[in-house]
Structure 1
């Protein structure tokens, strides 16, 4: 019988933790997606000239470029 009580109190504690977590998440301030997306687009447009994914990396400054080429005879 004590096993049932332990299991029951354990599930009550677990449920209480879940309720507390959901309350914390519900009370968080949320940003509107449209505002966040607009900010992201503006940031990308302002920094596009320095974005290596858009402009590429100069071969002379690329640290990942192979130093030697592989030749198979």
Structure 2
């Protein structure tokens, strides 16, 4: 019983590896170039680069903390 279970698991693994091996891969250099281009095209609207205006920041503290 145990050996037939391991054979079934091994067959499933082989089938999965065949599917993964047959997938068409994208070159990393092309993907990186696309990512750089996207970042350059959208840098003006990126809040990490431009910051968030104090008037539109929903996480800004309403009151300041005063230490005595």
TM-score (norm 2): 0.90
Separation (CA, whole Å) in 2 of partners of 1:23 and 1:66: 55
Structure 2, unmatched stretches of 5+, are: none
Structure 1, unmatched stretches of 5+, are: none
Q: Whose Rg is larger?
A: 1
1:67: Cα distance to partner?
1.1
Give the superposed CA RMSD.
1.1
1:25: Cα distance to partner?
0.8
Q: Deviations over 1:43-72 (max 9, x none)?
A: 110110111110000011011111112223
TM-score (norm 1): 0.84
